[in-house]
Chain A
């Protein structure tokens, strides 16, 4: 099996808005190699063709919904207190170019 290229890994990293040192990419490359080989082995030994994917621990449904009459909001000062920069009651960031 071909190793995933570092360029490709960098692309995924940037897609997640983060970057790493070169040595970390090399480590990750090795880890990918290990995991993909494991998956390869699994694919050969375990047939999952007709298995329904399991998203939650239990195959049950819930019924509860939130009532629209329940109102709760936080004070603006609280909402904004963790923001890096605030201006006129709004969070200020670099200009977003659309």
Chain B
């Protein structure tokens, strides 16, 4: 039913053959979005009128070869969009209208894609559940009893539900690649520094990456082509020529070798799920891929979560110090300026991120910085060096993006509390953020009728190779299903 759960190529073909108009596509997106909003609460803001207006204009234009022409899409609400409410899903920004456009959305606008709205995220991207957005919980369209994951929850839900074929997210720990697993879609986080972060609200800039959801790998490759490239507005953006990878993604692999990290893989606790992944890896071998189950220093990899918490909370505490209600944002009054700022921040932030800010402040404080923040930076190096060592021998590290299907709401600890029992299996994807590596989650197996994704992480700047491997695996898995 409809167009928007199809590939970009298919939609584009039908546009060209005048089987459908841009206006029709946008109308379909709006209709589906309205339905999704009732069921799953994926959006903060709809930009319906602007979208229809732009669709009308595009319908007057000649259709180019550009696959994004007239394609409706959604934007995670932590991208600044000019004169469109950009809340970061935080109460403190619930009235904020940026006067500038993020580079990523600007590129998409210029590629004639049409934004239909801004999507819910875990407040200021600090969370992984989709529970902490200021406008409420985001549900999984595949099963509204379950969460979709976060922080890019609304964008993931929108693509999962076929509302749009593409949605912008952002990825600091696994904020695109984890929900993609729960939604059964593709989530791609390119190499750090290849896409400008200008206009993306910073959570932890040394880890933050512009990332996105699509329904298939080739669409992700196309989106990467639109978005990558140097931007002088971002002094962490690599001054490399713009890459065009889409046409080079053919699924042909040259003696591919992938590494499965044993100590992580073997912690899958559900035997049925484990069997299905074992089967997947056997399929890989049949395809001619060398699959090695390699042993890692578990003690080192066990530090991933603590390292991630320390680095991300520390950076976040400083990056969000601008939110005080003075120049912008939801100001709350007090008897003096200090009390007003305290009132603004106390009422403006949710409980979870306040605790994370205090964490960060502790890690950065003079007395603790050496043993916490600097220690985490050193652990980061050890982990990255080890991962790069493995990637020097293999084309990619391939692991389940999650050990299980999307959890039920009743199973989740409601405040996203830090827990002593965490699973490395659920947190390993942060290694791609530590090392700035390209990493993609694609749908892989089904369990109880719900998807679990497989994650593929490759060498820095080998976005094309990662996409190509993912494409080959996607074809294999798809063939499997049918």
Contact = CB atoms under 8 A, between A and B. Distances in A.
Asked if chains A and B are in direct contact (CB within 8 A), the reply is: yes
A48 B420 CA distance: 23
Contact of A18 (B95, B96, B354, B436): B354
Classify chain A's interface size: 35 or more
B346 interface: yes
A53 interface: yes
Contacts of B95: 82
Nearest to B343: A19
A48 B342 contact: no
A42 to B, nearest CB: 5
Contacts of B338: 17
Given A58-B193, A96-B337, A39 B99 contact: no
Given A42-B379, A46-B379, A82 B346 contact: no
A36 to B, nearest CB: 9
Given A31-B417, A56-B206, A84-B325, A64 B355 contact: no
B378 interface: yes
Given A31-B418, A39-B375, A82 B436 contact: no
B373 to A, nearest CB: 8
Nearest to A58: B436
Given A34-B418, A39-B306, A81-B99, A54 B337 contact: no
Nearest to A80: B327
Interface string A59-95: 0001110100000001000110111100000010111
Contact of B306 (A42, A54, A81, A95): A42
Interface stretch (B25-33, B172-180, B328-336, B398-406): B328-336
Contacts of A84: 325-326, 331
Contact of A20 (B99, B329, B354, B417): B354
Contacts of B99: 74, 78-79, 81-82
A39 B415 CA distance: 22
Interface stretch (B139-147, B212-220, B356-364): B356-364
A15 B99 CA distance: 30
Interface string B141-175: 00000000000000000000000000000000000
Interface stretch (B1-9, B231-239, B474-482): B231-239
A42 B96 contact: no
Contact of B351 (A17, A20, A51): A20
B72 interface: no
B342 A19 contact: yes
Interface stretch (B47-55, B119-127, B263-271, B380-388): B380-388
A57 B192 contact: yes
B279 to A, nearest CB: 34
B419 interface: yes
A57 B346 contact: no
Contacts of B321: 16
A94 B357 contact: no
A58 B337 contact: no
Contact of A46 (B206, B299, B329, B349): B299
A27 B419 CA distance: 11
A42 B341 CA distance: 37
B317 interface: yes
Contacts of A55: 206, 377
A57 B324 contact: no
Contacts of B372: 39
B460 interface: yes
Interface in A28-57: 28, 30-32, 34-35, 37-39, 42-43, 45-46, 48, 51-57
Contacts of A62: 235-236, 239
Interface of A: 9, 12-21, 24, 27-28, 30-32, 34-35, 37-39, 42-43, 45-46, 48, 51-58, 62-64, 66, 74, 78-79, 81-84, 91, 93-97
Given A35-B359, A55-B377, 20 more contacts: A9-B358, A16-B321, A17-B341, A18-B346, A19-B342, A20-B346, A20-B351, A20-B355, A24-B351, A28-B358, A31-B417, A37-B420, A57-B433, A57-B436, A58-B193, A58-B436, A58-B460, A62-B235, A62-B236, A93-B337
Question: What are the nearest 6 A-B pairs in CB distance?
Answer: A57-B436, A53-B377, A82-B328, A84-B331, A54-B381, A48-B378
26 contacts: A9-B358, A12-B362, A17-B341, A17-B345, A18-B342, A24-B351, A27-B417, A28-B355, A28-B359, A34-B419, A35-B359, A39-B371, A42-B302, A46-B300, A46-B379, A51-B382, A53-B380, A54-B381, A56-B206, A56-B236, A57-B384, A62-B235, A79-B99, A82-B96, A82-B99, A96-B337
